[in-house]
Structures are given as C-alpha cells and as structure tokens.
Chains A and B, each alone.
Chain A
Amino acid sequence: MNKQIRRLAVALLACYSVLFVQLNVLAVGRQEELNADPRNNRQTERDFNRPRGAIVAADGTVLARSVPTPRGDEFRYQRQYPLGDLFGNVTGYYTFSYGSTQLEQTQNDVLMGDTDAQKLRALSGLFSGADNTGSVVLSMRPDVQQVAAEALGDRQGSVVVEDPHTGAIIAMVSNPRYNPADVAVHNSKLAEDALTFLNAVPGKPLLANAYQERYMPGSSFKVITTSIALENGVTNLERQFPATKEFIPPQTTDPIQNYGGTTCGGSMVEVFYRSCNIPFAQMALELGPEKMVDGTKKWGVGEKLPFDLPGPAASSFGEVSDFTDQLPLLAIGGFGQGSTTMVPLHMAMVASAIANGGVMMKPHVIDATLDHAGQTLSRTSPSVWKTPIQPGTADTLTTLMIGVVNQGTGRPMQLANGIQAAAKTGTAQLNTTGPERSNAWIIGFAPAEAPQYAISVVLKGGPNDEISAGTGGKLAGPIAKTVLDYLFAHPSGPGG
C-alpha cells in the first residue's frame, strides 16, 4: 500500500501546483487587466484611504490637498480645494466614483507616491511607515489668477498669461468655472448630482475652454497671415494698400467688406492697426493655398498643443485641397473668418513666439514635482516647440503690434507707467442672424522692447450680450490691461 500512498502524495502535490500556477495567473499575470476593470473599485478604495500629496502654486499656496476625515467617514482622507473654483480647470477633481481629471489624473502617481523613483526612495523608510506622497508645484500665480478672474467677471471666455521665454503659464482662467470640492464629496449621491448639474449648465464649466476649446479668431489671426506674407516676401512695412470698400475675390461674385463696411487702406502699418480686412484677404490670395497652409502649419495650427494638462485641443485652418477650388474661403481665412478656429492658449503662444524672437516654447503649468521630503523628482525645463518665423519677422510684427496699441484698435490696452505693450485685436463675426454674433479677442505682450509676459484674452459672444455688439479692443483690451498692469506692479507676488 505504501507505493499507492506515495503516488497519492505526488498526485496531491500536482493538484496544488495547479493551484499555485493559477494564483500566479490571477495575482500577477492578469493583475493589471483585473485592476483596470471598471467594475473593480478596490484600487480606488485603497487610494482613498491613503494620504495624497498636494498641488501647490508657484508661491506655495495650496490648491489641492488631502486631510484626514473625522471618524465615521467612509474613507480616511478628504480632498480639499482651498481656492474653490479658481483653479478647478487646472487641478481637476479627484472623486471616488467618477474618476479624476486634469492634474489630479495625470499626476496621480506622483501625488500617491507611486512613481518608481518615489518607491525606490521610500525603501529606506519601509518599516517606519512614513508618508510617501509627492507634491506638484505649478508655475501659476494665484494672485494673477484672481485678478484675471475678477477682470473676466461672469462673462464666458478665458485669459491666458504666459512667460514667452520659458512657456511657463502664469495664469489661465476658463469661464465658466466650477469648484472641484462639489464633486469630490464622499457622498456619492451629492457628487453625482453635482456632476449632472455641471454637465447640464450652459458654457461647459468642466471643459477648460482656455486650452480645450477653439474659437474663430477674427482679426487676431492677421498676425499669422502677416507673418507668412512677410516670410514669403509678399509684403513689407513699406507696402501700400489702396483704400477700398469692397473686394471681389476669384470664383465668386460676393464681395468682401471691411469691418462695419468702411473704406479702409493705406500703409502696411496703417491697415494693420486699423485692422482693415481687404488687404489681408489680398495677401492670403497672393500667397495662395499652399504657402498659406504651409505657413499656418509652421505655427502648429492643426496639431494638438504640447501641453502638460490632458486633452488639449488643436487649432484649425484647413488643408490645401480645401482652398484650391474655394479661394474666397482662403481670402476670408486671411483675416480669421470662415473655417479658421484657434485655441486661446495657442493664441497666447503665438504672441509669445513673436515676443521671443520667433521661437515658440512648449507651454506648461507644472514647474516641478517633489517627493515627500521636498526633494525634486522632476523639473520642467523650457523647450522649443516650433520656430515659425525669423527674428526679423518677429521684430516687424512687434512694430505693427505696437501701432495697434498706440494708434489703433488696441488703444484700451495702453498700460500704466508708460510701459509699451504690443497687441492685436480681433472681433470674429460668427453669423449675422443668430444670437451669438461675435467673439472678442486681444493678444499681445509687454514690454514691447523686452517682453516679460504674453497674454491672450477671448470673450465668447452670447445672446443679448455686450460682446456681440462690441469689438475685441474695447472689451478684451481692458482685461488684458488690468492683468498686465497688475503683473508689472507686483512682479513677484501680491506683496511686491
């Protein structure tokens, strides 16, 4: 019988080996797949019982943090957003049932202490049970954000302030805003109600329209058309344009008019600061579809913006084939009408590139990530995205944009203390009959001779809205002035 008993032992060992293999399959082989299953919320539940690091502004102001909950709460930590809705579109939210967005999503591993580098550094503290969470430091300034938000008021639109030399975003307000704390509540019914409400209200508050939406740019796009014309020798500062009221492009009998149906013409500088439409339509036609489309692509139009927040939009002008049989579309595209749409952040990058001698930097909001001890995990180093124009072209454009502020449509953006700004306005005419008639734009930078800040402001036209009636200079200009004046008065924070 002993032979059989030994065989029985071997058979049972074989059975248990099968169990061991299957355990490996479940716990290791299929681990990622099972953990990623949407029905499996164990990982989230665990995360909600672990500490999570903070997201802080450039001056150290806490934008998002986790605090221990009182006894009896479902989870051990509650996410808080001390500045309410001011940074909602940057930090995003962190919820149990509805996932997370923006930095809360993309920086999750750093905040939870789950990056490889953090795990390695935590090994020494393995048995001390020390908090291993990381933090994310932004380049953004809450005081500037606050000033921009107040200047926008409750109008729909956005303000983006960028350092033209590094691409660091200093302020970025997207109106309407929302408070992530409303969604981050642990009571899942309340969180669901808040999300349902935010999805239903007009203006899409959950969408950061400063970089996730695109709007027709109107005359602010003339900066790009002019740059392409300058680069291709189609125009220069000396070129004269005849004063005309109407211009009939090829392939149509429908004439192009200037804004408000005025007669407009003169030198390159004059037509730029007066923002005549016809000269830019003519330049676009002289360039032709290929050079025009090629020129916009050099500016990164058509590509997703290289941003460190998730889901950036791409600006759009069109392809060569869209225009060869549709030259009138190319003509009105030359002054930012028709099918042209631009992302507000992208327009700030356009202004930045002109301010930075023709070099366009990658925009970023994250300055650095730190581990639990405050040691740097990573630091964002400025990097070039595109070089759309020559330095000489940038200088010429600066001259033109100074004219806009001093003599033209951008006069509302004349800054305090004699600081010279350079700008271009835009009033995009959406349609002539509907309630939403126009978007008001201004893009620019200052000081013109040694730029420190670039800015783009857009106000989205709504029904029965002052924006629909006004122009970019009158409406967006004062906002840009308020923000830039504040920045020059307080170059390093609210105190100084």
Chain B
Amino acid sequence: MSTSPIAAARRRTELGLILMAATITAAAYTLASLGKNAVIPPILVPFLIVVLGLLVVAHLANRVWAKGADGTILPLAVLLHGVGYVIIARLSERSAGLQTTWTFVAVVAYVLTLAFVQRASDLARYKWSFLAIGAALLLIPLVPGVGSVKGGARIWVSLGPINFQPGEFAKIALALFFAGYLADHRELIATAGWRVGPFHLPELRHLLPIALAWGFAVVVMVAEQDLGSSLLFFTLFVVMMWVSTERASYLVIGLMLFSGAAYAAWRLVDHVQTRVSIWRNPWPQYEGKGYQIVQAMFAFANGGTGGTGLGLGSPNKIPVAKTDFIFAAIGEELGLLGTTAILIGFLLMIGGGLRIAVRADRPFEKLLATGLTTIVGIQAFIIIGGVTRVVPLTGIALPFVSYGGSSLLANYVLLALLVRVSDSTARRLGETPNELTTQERFEAYRQRRAAAKARA
C-alpha cells in the first residue's frame, strides 16, 4: 500500500491534534479530580491507556481506510468528547463508567462504518432503504411496550436493560435519503412547473416523496413531543432543499411553513406554551418549570470569565446537567473561556464539514456532507441556545459532549460518513491513490481464482 505525501501529512496532523486533545482531556480529568476530591485519580493511568488506545484505534482506521480524509474533524470530535467526558465524570462517577462503555461502542461503530462503507457514492443506491429505516426508527418509540417516556418526551426505546433514542439514528438515515433523492431530482425540482404569486414551484410529483418524508418526520416528532428534534429535521430539510435547488424561495417557503407550524404548536400544545413563557421570563416560575433555566443562568454567572475551576463549582444544582444542560456545567467550571472554546470547536467542525461539502465533486456527496454538518451545527445551536435563553429550550443532546450512548454512537457514525466523503473526494482529486476497496479486492481475488480454475 503506497501513501501520497499529502495524505501522509494529513494523517500526521491528525495524530498530532489527537494527542493534543487527549493531553487536554487527561489534564482536565486530573484537575477535576483534584478540585473535587483533592486527590490525583487512582485510575488515571488505566484511564489514559483506554482513552488513548481508543483514539489511536480511530486514527488507525483513518490510516487504513480513509488515508486522504481531512485531518481536523476527528481531533475536534475527540476534544469535544473529552471535555464532555470530564464534566460527566465530575458530575457522576457512575455515569462516567457507562459513558466509557459507550465511548468504546462509539469508536467501534466509527471503525466499522469506515470499514463497511468504502465508497461514499455506494450509499446513494440505498436511499429508499434509508427512508424506510428512518421511518421505522422514528416510529419505534410509539409502539406500546417498547417505547418509553422520559422527561415528557416519548423518544426512548427500552429493550431489556438497553435504552436508546432511535431518533438520533433516524436523522442520519433521513440525511442520507434527502441527499440521495435530491441529488437525482434536484434539477427537476428546481425547474418551475407552476407558480403561485412570486414563488416557482416544482411539479408535485417530484416534490412529493421528500415532502412526505419531512412531514412524516415532523408529525412523528410532534406526537413524541420532541420539539428539539422537530426543529432539527425541519432545518435540515429546508437547508438541503435550498442548497440542492439553489433557489432562495425554499428558504422563504421554509420560514413561512416554520412560522405557521410554530404558531399552531404554540396555540395547540400546552407544552410549547410553557416553554415559550419560560424562555421569555423564567423568574416567576423559579419554583417550578423555570428552575432549571434559572440555575443554568446562575451557573454561567458563577463561572464568570475564567470559571470556578474544574471540580470547584456546584453544577449538580442544575437538574439533568450531564445531558441537556452540560453546556451550563461547562460554563460554571470553565467560564466564558471554556464555553467559547466549545463554540469555536463546533464552528471549526462546521467549517471542516462544509469544506468537505464544497470540495466534493458529486452532488450526492456534496449534499450528504452539507446535511450531516447541518445536523451537528444546528443541533448544537438549538441546545446551547436553549440553555442560554437565546431560543426556547427544547431538550436535545449536545453532540459529542452530552452524556448518552445513542447520541455518541450516532454522532461517531455521522463523523465516519463525513470522513468517508472527504476521503472519496481526495481519491478522485488524485491526492491519494484510488486503491481498491476490500470488497473489490476480494472480488478480484475470486475472479482470478475462477479464471485460474478455468485455465486449469
């Protein structure tokens, strides 16, 4: 296997950045333990070996299966994941143990995704399957006996001891479907079939599948009372329509639809009204539903610029600090500097993802990278904005940072797909040799054997 200089440089950068992210994580972990218990954690060395080992495995997977891929987004994910892990460990040692297991599963899923999907364009062929998978994942929590309600939202599935949120995976499946469908039909959709006022609309025939998919997702989400995910799907849909058709009218239509839906939801659903009133003024409901958001505000203020220091704040005062409100815990102990670092981390990841989209030369891959990046960027915005009272709060995990297996697993799969798109582009641009995939090599081997047999 040969390696081009460009690819080698990218992998070296990646290794260097991963080591830095790991160093920051280990230092933060030690400080948090010193701050909280005044002792250096006894499990520091095994912790470092496990974490470093896992990260090196992810890096090695890139070296084997994605030589030419962008070298920055994996280290960024590692940094966000590391900071999140430290905060989770600081909040609850038991949760940290589980999160370690999930980290292991997530990294394995990352490696398997890279190993299994060796050509990004192959995924386009399965768009209808992804639609079916996405629909099924969204519907599972509504099945009696399987789905369960936590925190008012029916988005959980309980199978024996395992609980997970299928919605986290549905968003990837739907992004794959949107990208695949729009790549094929974008020109037809962009061609105006008829017009209403200033808006050029495509023929319904072309719009129908995607509108159905989106409407289905939104309706299911509303039925499950998962407003954060509804908002995420909505934005994903509008962005992908806009980017693929290059028509700004989709943004306008999207905004109108959103306003209408938001107004209807506000009028019809009590839950939404409560959220909006808490967002506008949480103080009168301090003893009730406004408590969490006020505690988050106290946490940011207590952190100030430099934070209280890891292990020295009181983030346990915020209900569910380790999942939806982990950003407030970071704000308390790492201050404005820490939260800004997280924001920059997400911005760099968005930048990296969109650069992969711009560089990609095939519409499907371009749209897929755009969609996946939008998911991460918007999801982080929705929850950070909710916690800081920029937008009404809708419970949703902060990608890579929050506690939770489904979210971590789904986000590492998402990351692997982005890396895959980046690598495929690099191969086509000739930055790295376009080697055969494992599958192709196996097929070639089989045919050689068959030919040899035939000759013999």
A residues apposed to B, CB below 8 Å:
1-6, 8-9, 12-13, 15-16, 18-20, 22-24, 26-28, 30-31, 33-35, 37, 39-40, 42-43, 45-46, 49
Contact = CB atoms under 8 A, between A and B. Distances in A.
B354 A46 contact: no
Contact of B300 (A8, A27, A46): A27
Nearest to A76: B38
Given A5-B243, A23-B388, A31-B304, 7 more contacts: A12-B350, A22-B389, A23-B343, A26-B331, A27-B304, A27-B336, A28-B304
B298 A40 contact: yes
B298 A4 contact: no
A4 B182 CA distance: 15
B377 interface: yes
Q: Ordered nearest first, which 8 A-B pairs have the shortest CB separation?
A: A34-B301, A26-B300, A42-B302, A4-B243, A27-B336, A40-B298, A31-B301, A22-B388
Contacts of B72: none
Contacts of A15: 377, 381, 385
A83 to B, nearest CB: 30
Given A4-B246, A46-B314, A16 B343 contact: yes
Given A1-B246, A16-B381, A43-B302, A22 B390 contact: yes
B103 interface: no
Contacts of B343: 16, 19-20, 23
Interface in B353-375: 354, 357-358, 363, 366-367, 370, 374
Contacts of A3: 246
A5 B313 contact: no
9 contacts: A1-B363, A9-B354, A16-B343, A18-B390, A19-B390, A27-B304, A34-B297, A42-B317, A46-B314
A13 B347 CA distance: 7
A30 B317 CA distance: 20
Counting chain B CB atoms within 10 Å of each CB, the highest count among A22, A23, A34, A46 belongs to A23
B346 interface: yes
A42 B313 contact: yes
B242 interface: yes
A30 B389 CA distance: 13
B335 A27 contact: yes
B301 A39 contact: no
B405 interface: no
B348 to A, nearest CB: 11
Contacts of A6: 354, 358
Contacts of B317: 42
A30 B370 contact: no
Contacts of A26: 297, 300-301, 331, 388
B354 A23 contact: no
Given A1-B246, A15-B381, A42 B299 contact: yes
Nearest to A23: B339
Nearest to B306: A27
Given A19-B388, A42-B302, A42-B314, A9 B340 contact: no
A24 B305 CA distance: 8
Contacts of A12: 347, 350, 377-378, 381
B384 interface: yes
A396 B191 CA distance: 111
B294 interface: yes
Contacts of A30: 297, 301
A480 to B, nearest CB: 51
B357 A5 contact: yes
A23 B331 contact: yes
B432 interface: no
A39 B300 contact: no
A12 B308 CA distance: 30
B302 A8 contact: no
A108 B27 CA distance: 33
A367 to B, nearest CB: 33
